[in-house]
């Protein structure tokens, strides 16, 4: 469900080995009916609703949206009604902030929708360091 423009909230359905480390899967039909997300273009930030976000935008992870269908059988079984499915390794990366099945997760597609492309963290960090060096 879109709560704010380009912000979508959906229950968390679980994890699956069908997905790569930077992928979030959602049932294809639910994705098409309930969002404006384009899996070929859009990338989203994923967070658990109610948990504070401690990471700045440039240090956060962006996820490729995967439209789940029969080509992802394990992930598909976790998203019968459009629930978000994350890769199995995601829980290890989030340790304290890992969602549990049934938790609501926020898929934030604002950056993709407004800017279009994601910043290359290496380029951004070099630019920031360069600005800091010039300022001293």
Boundaries of every domain in the chain: 2-135
Enter the tokens of residue 49: 């609703």
What pLDDT was estimated at residue 72? 96
Task: Specify the pTM.
Answer: 0.76
Tens-place pLDDT, residues 101-115: 889 998 988 766 666
pLDDT of 131 strictly over 80? no
CATH fold of 2-135 reads Barwin-like endoglucanases (2.40.40)
Q: Given pLDDT bands bounded at 50, 70 and 90, which one contains residue 41?
A: confident
What pLDDT was estimated at residue 91? 61
Calculate mean pLDDT across residues 36-64: 77
Tens-place pLDDT, residues 49-58: 876 665 655 6
């Amino acid at each position: 469900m879109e709560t704010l423009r380009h912000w979508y909230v959906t229950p968390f359905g679980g994890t699956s080995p069908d997905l790569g480390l930077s992928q979030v899967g959602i049932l294809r039909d639910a994705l098409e009916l309930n969002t404006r997300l384009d899996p070929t273009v859009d990338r989203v930030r994923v967070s658990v609703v109610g948990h504070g976000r401690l990471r700045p935008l440039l240090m956060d992870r962006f996820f490729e949206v995967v439209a789940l269908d029969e080509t992802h059988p394990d992930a598909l079984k976790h998203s019968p009604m459009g629930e978000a499915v994350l890769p199995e390794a995601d829980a290890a990366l989030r340790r304290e902030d890992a969602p549990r099945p049934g938790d609501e997760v926020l898929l934030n597609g604002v950056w993709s929708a407004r800017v279009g492309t994601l910043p290359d963290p290496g380029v951004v960090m070099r630019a920031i360091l360069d600005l800091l060096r010039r300022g001293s």
